[in-house]
Amino acid sequence: MKLIILDRDGVINEDSDAYVKSVAEWIPLPGAIKAIARLCRAGWSVAVATNQSGLARGYFSPATLEAMHAELQRLVAEQGGHIELIEHCPHGPDDACDCRKPLAGMFRRIAAHYQLADLSGVPVVGDSLRDLQAGLTLNAEPYLVKTGKGLHTLEKPLPPGTQVFTDLAAVADHLLDARQ
Ligand SMILES: O=P(O)(O)OC[C@@H](O)[C@H]1O[C@@H](OP(=O)(O)O)[C@@H](O)[C@@H](O)[C@@H]1O
Ligand SMILES: [Mg+2]
Ligand SMILES: [Zn+2]
């Protein structure tokens, strides 16, 4: 199955150390929307798994998060694509949930949605180590991008087999060239 799982902040849109708190602050990274649409048009299923502790911290509301994701879907649809599943962890670091990356709860939900036993062969694209670690729990393929916190993440030891790309557009180029 051609499934790819994307982190959101720092991969699809600009990240901020002050959190992305509104639709106005949700700014797509160059080439990211087009990359998602290209993958969709080539038969890939695209899912998103995003930590959104800003909800638990009271920085923004669930309605605001939904508005950001509606804007994401609108932009992707304009280019002929669709994100099939957007999973988010609304919890904070002290909530002891099972879905806040690096824990794999969101990835288990995505695997179950597609009736997959695990995520072997599924690229998980992130800018933070925790994105890759969460995917690896289910045997996904770790892809690090240099956008968002990616350059900072590159300073740390990476999981074996991690592939590094400039941005999501470069990931799409690689997957669309490699698997034709
Ligand atoms: O990259 P994804 O998972 O899509 O979303 C990350 C965001 O939820 C925020 O996650 C926070 O981490 P803490 O939740 O405070 O540890 C910080 O890193 C923020 O800069 C960042 O915007
Ligand atoms: Mg991120
Ligand atoms: Zn959670």
| Tokens read off for 47 | 């899912």
CB 81 within 8 A of CB 87: no
Which two tokens mark 88? 């988010």
- In the CATH scheme, what architecture does the domain 2-178 have? 3-Layer(aba) Sandwich (3.40)
Residue 98 annotated among the catalytic residues of the structure:
no
pLDDT at 178 exceeding the cut of 70? no
The residue contributing the CA closest to ligand 1 atom 1 is 9
Ligand nearest to the CA of 49: 1
pLDDT in tens, 60-74: 999 999 999 999 999
Q: Is the pTM of this model over 0.90?
A: yes
Q: How far apart are CA 105 and CA 72, in angstroms?
A: 23
Note the ligand closest to the C-alpha atom of 52: 1
Query: Phi/psi of residue 114, each to 5°?
Result: -100, 10
What pLDDT score was predicted for residue 112?
98
Element (H, E) at 50: strand 45-51
Q: Which residues lie below 8 Å from residue 83, measured CB to CB, with a gap of 6+?
A: 36, 46, 47, 48, 72, 73, 76
- 6-63 pLDDT per residue, tens: 999 999 999 999 999 999 999 999 999 999 999 999 999 999 999 999 999 999 999 9
Residues 155-165 pLDDT 10s = 999 999 999 99
Strand-pairing partners, residue 50, are 88
DSSP secondary structure string, 61-99?
Answer: -HHHHHHHHHHHHHHHHHTT----EEEEE---TTS--S-
Nearest CA-CA partner of 53 in 23, 13, 95: 95
Taking the centre of ligand 3 as the mean of its atom positions, its distance from the CA of residue 147, in whole angstroms, is 24
* Residue extents of the structural domains in the chain: 2-178
CB 53 within 8 A of CB 91: yes
Say yes or no to pLDDT of 179 above 60.
no
- Of 7, 15, 127, 131, which is the active-site residue? 7
Which residue has the least CA distance to atom 15 on ligand 1?
53
38 alpha carbon to ligand 3 midpoint, in Å? 30
CA–CA gap between residue 166 and residue 92 (Å, rounded): 29
Burial 124-136 (b: 16+ CB within 10 A, else e): bbbbbbbbbbbbb
17 catalytic? Reply is no
